[in-house]
Amino acid sequence: MQINHRAKKSLGQNFLQDANIARKIVDSLRISSEDSVIEIGPGQGALTKFILEAGPGSLTLIEKDRDLAPALEAEFPEAEVVQQDALKFRWEDLDPAKTWKIVGNLPYNVASKIMWDVAFKCRAMCVFMVQHEVGMRITADPGSKKYGAISVWVQSFCHTDYLFKVPPTVFRPQPKVDSAVIKFISLPENEKPVDIEGLAGLVKYCFQYRRKQLGKILKSFISDQVLEWAEKEGITLADRPEALSPLQFQGLYKCVKNDFPS
Ligand code: SAM
């Protein structure tokens, strides 16, 4: 994009300069004319031109930067540009009858919050570039050191996949750390948890004390129901929160929900 733009640190602006990586990210979404695509933080359009080349049914660009939004409108008249904070976007209002594909090289300072929201508020295939560490956490398996509240949360609603690593050298300005491209695909509606506010509270509460044993973390909530559930699942009260799979967190929440503040 031919605009004289000075990158803003406050908006996490690290612009991708490598066309091969941009194409690879867009290719992993397998866009067709049936798809409604949303790009979060298009910046100077590094991914945008490849998205349009893939021929989506529609493309919406959500960009918070007031200077970049008009430039994007001029450069990509086929797309709808929404100058807005993606954290305030109403993902739950997306038409469930359409096939949504959401993509973005996410601003590092709000990436986890955006993914937390997108994962449970809509049904979509998503490809995001994030800090490498965050990508590892989102896609981590239960039992691993990287597995935490955001892993449980996103994996409660989506299949997640780590696609590839990206070095700092392909951005201007260069970030200090590696990036990772990850993919989410929403689970079928009947496999998603329902009591989501309470579940979010339980997951965050447990991982606040991730080094403690479940028996200590949950001591005010232990009941016969919890003990029976733990035995059935092969969980002991000496286990730590990282031992529980997303489905096991849902099972545990069912046992404690009457006592647990939501
Ligand atoms: N997609 C471009 C690329 O790959 O070169 C830019 C990526 S840059 C890491 C992040 C982009 O997100 C910037 O354009 C920034 O202005 C935008 N952004 C930052 N915070 C945002 C927010 N809360 N909502 C929407 N866009 C945001």
Question: Is it the case that residue 16 has pLDDT exceeding 80?
Answer: yes
Point out which residues pair with 156 in neighbouring strands. Answer: none
Q: Going by CA atoms, what residue is nearest to atom 21 of ligand 1? A: 64
Question: Is it the case that residue 262 has pLDDT exceeding 90?
Answer: no
Question: Is it the case that residue 230 has pLDDT exceeding 80?
Answer: yes
> Is the C-beta atom of 117 inside 6 A of ligand 1?
no
Ligand 1 center–CA 183 separation, angstroms: 18
Q: What's the mean pLDDT when you consider all of the chain?
A: 96
CA–CA separation, 44 and 189 (whole Å): 35
> Is the C-beta atom of 43 inside 6 A of ligand 1?
yes
Cβ count within 10 A of residue 36: 17
From the candidate CATH numbers 3.40.50.1370, 3.90.226.10, 3.40.50.150, 3.40.50.800, the one assigned to the domain spanning 9-191: 3.40.50.150
> Residue 30 — left, alpha, or beta (φ > 0 → left; ψ -120 to 50 → alpha)?
left
Which pLDDT score is estimated for 175? 96
Which pLDDT score is estimated for 3? 60
Token pair recorded at residue 209: 């004390």
Which pLDDT score is estimated for 260? 80
> Is the C-beta atom of 105 inside 6 A of ligand 1?
yes
Question: Is it the case that residue 59 has pLDDT exceeding 70?
Answer: yes
CA–CA separation, 236 and 214 (whole Å): 8
Q: Best substitution site from 3, 6, 65, 169 to test ligand 1's pocket, by max atoms within 8 Å of Cβ?
A: 65
Give, as one character, the DSSP assignment of residue 242: G
- Least confident residue range of 58-62, 85-89, 220-224: 220-224
| pLDDT band (50, 70, 90) for residue 5 | confident
Point out which residues pair with 103 in neighbouring strands. Answer: 39, 127
CA–CA separation, 117 and 43 (whole Å): 21
Domain ranges across the chain = 9-191, 196-256
pLDDT average, residue stretch 136-148 = 97
CA–CA separation, 200 and 6 (whole Å): 38
| pLDDT band (50, 70, 90) for residue 2 | low
Which pLDDT score is estimated for 259? 83
Ligand 1 center–CA 111 separation, angstroms: 10
The answer to whether residues 55 and 32 touch, using CB atoms and an 8 Å cutoff, is yes
pLDDT average, residue stretch 104-109 = 96
Which burial class, exposed, middle or buried, applies to 98 when counting CB atoms under 10 A from its CB (0-12, 13-18, 19+)? middle
pLDDT average, residue stretch 75-86 = 98
Q: Map tokens 């392909």 to a residue.
A: 170
In the CATH hierarchy, which top-level class contains the domain 196-256? Answer: mainly alpha
> Is the C-beta atom of 112 inside 6 A of ligand 1?
no
Q: For 175-225, write each residue's pLDDT tens digit.
A: 999 999 999 999 999 999 988 999 999 999 999 999 999 999 999 999 999
Which pLDDT score is estimated for 1? 59
Question: Is it the case that residue 9 has pLDDT exceeding 80?
Answer: yes
> Is the C-beta atom of 86 inside 6 A of ligand 1?
yes
| pLDDT band (50, 70, 90) for residue 238 | very high
Which pLDDT score is estimated for 261? 75
- Least confident residue range of 95-99, 116-120, 193-197: 193-197
The answer to whether residues 114 and 138 touch, using CB atoms and an 8 Å cutoff, is no
Cβ count within 10 A of residue 236: 12
